[in-house]
Amino acid sequence: MTQQISGGMPLHGLKVVEMGQLIAGPFASKLLGEFGADVIKIEPPGVGDPLRKWRKIKDGTSLWWHVQSRNKRSITLDLKEAEGQDIARRLICEADILVENFRPGTLEGWGLSYAELAALNPKLIMLRISGYGQTGPYRDLPGFGVIGEAMGGLRHLSGYPGQAPVRVGISIGDSLSSLYGVIGVLLALQERARSGVGQEIDVALYESVFAMMESLIPEYDAFGYVREPAGSALPGITPSNSYPCNDGSYVLIAGNGDSIYKRLMMLIGRQDLADDPRLAHNDGRSQHAEMIDAAIGEWTGTRGRDEVIEALKGARVPAGYPYTAADIVSDPHYLARQMIEQVQTSAGPLKVPGVLPKLSRTPGRLGTGGPQLGEHTDDVLAGLGLTDEQRQGLRERGII
């Protein structure tokens, strides 16, 4: 990816203070940092963000850390102590954006409510991500992404009928909340440019998942219809499913456009299904989904995956197969679009995902991997005017 000077980046000049840990809040800050914001991440002394020890570890640090925390500066600060809260307050007074994902009420207990902070810094935009939001009867309950996915309706639809609900293999509830949070920040920045005043952004994990649930609620309201899990199919949109090949693999075929459907049927030798007037449009096809899927599966089942994919490409039918990490890092399209990049980390050179979205004139930055715990504490606190002696005293008292 072409690296731009920092002054040319969309969020250059904005200062972000990140409080919180793990996924939802830090992922939002990561996105802001990739487009030029100066992100100062506050971590508890000695232990840091628990994500540092999640999943695969190399040289003592999670490899995930180098994706989630790239472009950030790390300082250590004990926010449970008054001295730590005072330093955080001073940092926030100079910030444009505060990102936090503690349980509601935590910051209020530390004297860091939005009202108190906005009185000191009226331009402050505060992004708050929590399980259930800052209001409502569930606000005080602990909530992780998995619970948001359940309450938001996603888990009920995941898997096969009659079986235990399965999860998407990533923390999708957290990441969706981060994306909504960043949208909120950008909206608030636009409004602040007119009014000169910041505001508070309240994002709930369950609501971020629920917002993705398409026609779930109007179908229930109009017909009393409760959507159920359907395995690999997409109910009401036909054909769109996964189909077995004779080499043990699967292909995914999305032949649900009317003209695409006809080309697909002609490709598999089913002119009768292509010409059947009942199947000309999606509403009719969806009433005969099992018959259509069986015909496609019969065709794919006598061929290998690569043969199927090439034939479908030739017929201009959207198709693919489930990529593994090995498929991704070697795929020419990923590489051509610079979606696999390499950064220098404490664990050495490391391949990581590229930056999204892609801006033509002021693209984001890849930067460096995640910082060491407290790597920038002295620099940041010196910038607040704390002397060497004051910082040493804070260290001795365990505040930093």
Residue type present at position 273: L
Element housing 145 (H / E): helix 145-151
Q: Please give the structure tokens belonging to residue 381.
A: 């606190």
User: What is the DSSP secondary-structure string of 341-389?
Assistant: EEEEETTEEEEEE--SS--SSS-------PPPTTTTHHHHHHHTT--HH
What is the spatial distance between Cα 339 and Cα 64, in angstroms, rounded to a whole number? 16
Three-state DSSP at 252 gives strand
* Residues assigned a catalytic role: 174
Q: Please give the structure tokens belonging to residue 82.
A: 């008054």
Torsion angle in degrees (nearest 10) through CA of 210, 215, 221, 224: -100
Three-state DSSP at 157 gives helix
Q: Which residue has the tokens 């504490």?
A: 377
User: What is the DSSP secondary-structure string of 269-315?
Assistant: T-HHHHH-GGGSSHHHHHTTHHHHHHHHHHHHTTS-HHHHHHHHHHT
Residue 59 phi, psi dihedral angles, 5° rounding: 55, 40
CA dist list (Å): 316 to 125, 216, 259: 47, 31, 10
The distance of Cα 202 from the centroid of its chain, to the nearest Å, equals 17
How many Cβ atoms are within 10 Å of 169's Cβ, its own excluded? Answer: 6
Q: Please give the structure tokens belonging to residue 152.
A: 């938001």
How many Cβ atoms are within 10 Å of 22's Cβ, its own excluded? Answer: 17
Residues with Cβ within 8 Å of residue 355, at least 6 apart in sequence: 1, 34, 35, 341, 363, 364, 365, 366
What is the spatial distance between Cα 227 and Cα 220, in angstroms, rounded to a whole number? 8
